[in-house]
Amino acid sequence: MTLERELLKGNTPAMVLAVLRAGPLHGYGIAREIERRSGDLLKFREGTLYPALHALERDGLVVGQWEVQPSGPARKVYALTKSGRLELDRRTCAWQAFSVAVSKVIGGEAHEQTT
């Protein structure tokens, strides 16, 4: 597995929650919105997205509801729950702190040592 796919997999739940903050979407719409927001740098396959959606639903962070289409099959539309909004806030704070810390390490920011 490539590093990019591993990073994508580990951060998929937070990105799904972030996209659903704007309103309910079906799986395909969630995937396309993440791709759009990332400037098409992040690509989602069903094997990455749907297990994350099912886990978020199981954990009560999103709720799925079947929507009947005028033409074509019904599709499941996902919406953020109140718990999902709180979890998104928590994950956003954690991601920002983690990102800053990793950037300092990768960027080689000097750390004063006390001796």
pLDDT along the chain (115 residues), means of 10: 65 95 95 93 83 96 94 93 97 92 84 58
**Which 8-state DSSP code applies to residue 59?**
T
Please answer whether residues 92 and 14 qualify as being in contact, where contact means their C-beta atoms are separated by less than 8 angstroms. Answer: yes
The whole-model pTM stands at: 0.83
- What are the residue boundaries of the structural domains of the chain, listed by start? 3-101
Q: Which CATH architecture has domain 3-101?
A: Orthogonal Bundle (1.10)
25-26 β-sheet, strand order: 25-26, 75-80, 62-67
List, for residues 61-89, the tens digit of each pLDDT value: 999 999 998 888 899 999 999 999 999 99
Give the Cα separation of 12 and 91 in Å (integer): 11
